Amino acid sequence: MKRICGFITVFVGMFFLFSVAWAADDWESITAPVKVFEEGYIQVTGASEEGQSRYRAMRAATVIAQRDLLEVLEGLRLYGETTVKDGMLRSDDIRTTIQGFLRGAVKCGDKFHSDRGSAEVCMRLYIRGKGGLYDIILPLIKENKLNPEQRPYYKPKLIPKVLSETPAPTKKADVVVPPKVKEATHVSEAKPEVAKPSEITIVYDGIIIDVRAFQFKPALVNTILTEKDEIVFDPSKILSSVLVERGCGGFTTDPGKAKALLASWGSTKPMMLKGIGVVKMTNAKVSVDDAAAIYVHDKKSNLLAQAKVVFLLK
């Protein structure tokens, strides 16, 4: 009886190890743009033809994976309707930078099927982080070589005063809706004055832009605009180190994940803003009141420099 129990234990253990090993080789494809920007990397698996030696099969699978990585990368949006491929065709700087970046692809696994003489190779390209795409193209972003479209930056001529009687949010609220702003009080355009700290009862330190009603697409350069096409938020407002780690904020289709992502970045009181439109698929528009709220609370929490912005997609 003891021998039977021992045999069963060994069999179960071997089955478990085999299952774990099999699962480890089951690489997930990360190629859909929303998924790529959400996870922070592109991941593909290249498969060779059968009837080859180990070396030739591995080499062939690697070449196929590299080709697939380039295809996915070229399909990502730079800004608006312009893809990475479009940017490479229009700019020598972008083409040279992207070609150099592709050499930084890393292998995330491989396996050789000796019975078939074929191989599979998993490869990954990081979008964020040290050595990732944002890190590589940072000089291009800072020199405004990715997005040639010039728009004025938003700076309210009339500085709003946030309502001081706004009640504190209840514990049940998942996200906090920004308070309405009073009718703006006139101040000098040369020296605008922001509302005093005593006038702000709640300081919001993150933004969730709900653009589920529109065809909004994640890109390397996403912006928030006013109704007059003034820039409220773009990469120029983000600290370089933060831009490398987070890009132009986060993207998700789940409100709960949006809040959780902001929380992981240190945001404790995010405000939910509803987009009123989208320009060229990558630029979210907000109302005048919401633009004013972002301006006022950014002065207190520096949320834009920290890219504490999440776009909620459908």
- Joined together, the tokens standing for residue 272 give 């939910």
Computed from CA positions of residues 218, 222, 226, 232, in that sequence, does the dihedral angle turn out positive or negative?
positive
Residues present in the chain in total: 314
> What pLDDT was estimated at residue 164?
37
Query: What gap in Å lies between CA 313 and CA 291, rounded to an integer?
Result: 20
Q: Tally Cβ neighbours within 10 Å of residue 235.
A: 23
How deeply is 299 buried, as exposed, middle or buried, from its count of CB atoms within 10 A (0-12, 13-18, 19+)? middle
Sheet of 118-126: strand order equals: 41-47, 118-126, 106-113
> What pLDDT was estimated at residue 157?
73
> What pLDDT was estimated at residue 148?
61
pTM for the complete prediction? Answer: 0.76
DSSP 35-85: HHHHHTEEEEEEEPPSS--HHHHHHHHHHHHHHHHHHHHHHSEEETTEEHH
Query: What gap in Å lies between CA 163 and CA 51, rounded to an integer?
Result: 73
Per-residue pLDDT of the chain (314 residues; tens, 9 = 90+): 545 545 444 444 444 443 333 334 579 999 999 899 999 999 999 999 999 999 999 999 999 999 999 999 999 999 988 999 999 998 898 899 888 898 889 999 999 999 999 999 999 999 999 999 999 989 888 777 776 667 889 988 766 554 333 444 444 445 555 555 444 444 334 444 444 544 557 899 999 999 999 999 999 999 999 999 999 999 989 999 999 999 999 999 999 999 999 999 999 999 999 999 999 999 999 999 999 999 999 999 999 999 999 999 98
